[in-house]
């Protein structure tokens, strides 16, 4: 009877993960389509203007990292409710790459917050794209290396097993370090910059965030990613605390899997928000839809030729 109940509980937990997987798969599909269209729109905009505003350029870079995160999240879609089976080294490399991409996106948001607060940036180094790229890349790699060091090697690196992005078996110290380094520090910087921007603009009677096209988009994106990152970080810390005392139940493991989907859904929703809230992207989308609609309504020269040939053949048959 106890075995039967355990099997039923495991089935219910797997059903929960499967349902979350279906929802995320749909959301990820829309996110990938939005990301591809944003890439197309970026190329068209660059060809037309040959240069982009600094804030707009940061927005495109952020979208690129979110698209990369979506692609990295496909391993969860392909294997859940089971887990990716790979070596410990491969799993650590996957987690390291996801942390770098996630941190790069969050640090780009910090740069965007500094730009909307100090327009133009008070520090001339922050106006140089190469300096900003090096700053974001080096900081992300260093933080990811610190997290990898806290996580540490676990046994034989070539041994195959289930791969989790952030397993609760890594301990409470890893969960706390991730909460501080990946969530608290980037968002404390963003909130501090935004508060400073509000005070600065209030003293000068200027418009804050609404003065540019990217301002409201930045606020919506950073707000939603904050919710997703907070949900995942708290769920991971809670799971690590429980795992330090006893083994996780099937429902608790399922909740952690759902929290991963919530984390990655931040990338999909961010791309959709940029597509529909950023006016140039939205107008580009409407333009493509109008061209497709016109193509469907108005037959091209080749179609007219085919219709004329069909009409001539029918007239010949009638006369015959």
Locate the domains of the chain by residue range.
2-277
DSSP for residue 249: P
Helices (H), the chain: 2-49, 54-72, 74-79, 88-117, 129-151, 172-178, 185-204, 214-245, 250-277, 279-297, 301-319
Q: Using CA atoms in the order 167, 237, 219, 46, what is the torsion angle rounded to 10 degrees?
A: -20
Query: For residue 161, is pLDDT > 90?
Result: no
CATH 1.20.1260.10 holds for 2-277:
no
Using an 8 Å Cβ cutoff, are 70 and 35 in contact?
yes
- Beta-carbon contacts of 35 under 8 Å, excluding residues fewer than 6 positions away, are 63, 66, 67, 70, 271
N-terminal to C-terminal alpha carbon distance within the chain: 83
pTM, 2 dp:
0.86
Name the band, by pLDDT with cuts 50, 70 and 90, for residue 211: low
Tens of pLDDT, residue by residue over 42-72, are 888 777 766 667 778 888 899 999 999 999 9
DSSP for residue 266: H
Tens of pLDDT, residue by residue over 68-111, are 999 999 988 888 888 888 888 888 899 999 999 999 999 999 99
């Amino acid at each position: 009877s106890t075995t039967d109940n355990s099997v039923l509980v495991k089935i219910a937990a797997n059903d929960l993960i499967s349902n979350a997987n279906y929802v995320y798969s749909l959301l990820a599909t829309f996110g990938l389509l939005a990301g591809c269209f944003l890439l197309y729109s970026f190329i068209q905009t660059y060809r037309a203007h040959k240069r982009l505003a600094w804030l707009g350029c940061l927005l495109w870079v952020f979208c690129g990292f979110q698209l990369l995160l979506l692609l990295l999240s496909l391993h969860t879609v392909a294997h859940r409710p089971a887990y990716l089976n790979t070596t410990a080294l491969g799993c650590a490399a996957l987690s390291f790459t996801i942390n770098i991409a996630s941190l790069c996106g969050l640090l780009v948001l910090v740069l965007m917050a500094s730009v909307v607060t100090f327009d133009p940036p008070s520090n001339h180094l922050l106006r140089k794209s190469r300096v900003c790229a090096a700053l974001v890349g080096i900081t992300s790699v260093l933080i990811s290396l610190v997290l990898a060091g806290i996580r540490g090697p676990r046994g034989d690196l070539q041994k195959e097993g289930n791969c989790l992005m952030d397993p609760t078996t890594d301990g409470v110290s890893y969960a706390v370090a991730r909460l501080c380094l990946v969530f608290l520090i980037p968002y404390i910087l963003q909130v501090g910059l935004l508060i400073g921007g509000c005070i600065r603009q209030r003293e000068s009677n200027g418009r804050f965030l609404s003065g540019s096209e990217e301002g409201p988009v930045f606020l919506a994106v950073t707000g939603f990613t904050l919710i997703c990152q907070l949900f995942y970080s708290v769920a991971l810390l809670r799971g690590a605390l429980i795992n330090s005392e006893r083994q996780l139940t099937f429902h608790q493991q399922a909740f952690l899997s759902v929290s991963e989907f919530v984390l990655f859904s931040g990338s999909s929703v961010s791309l959709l928000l940029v597509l529909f809230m950023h006016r140039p992207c939205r107008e580009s989308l409407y333009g493509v839809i109008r061209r497709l609609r016109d193509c469907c309504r108005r037959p091209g020269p080749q179609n007219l030729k085919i219709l004329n040939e069909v009409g001539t053949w029918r007239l010949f048959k009638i006369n015959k």
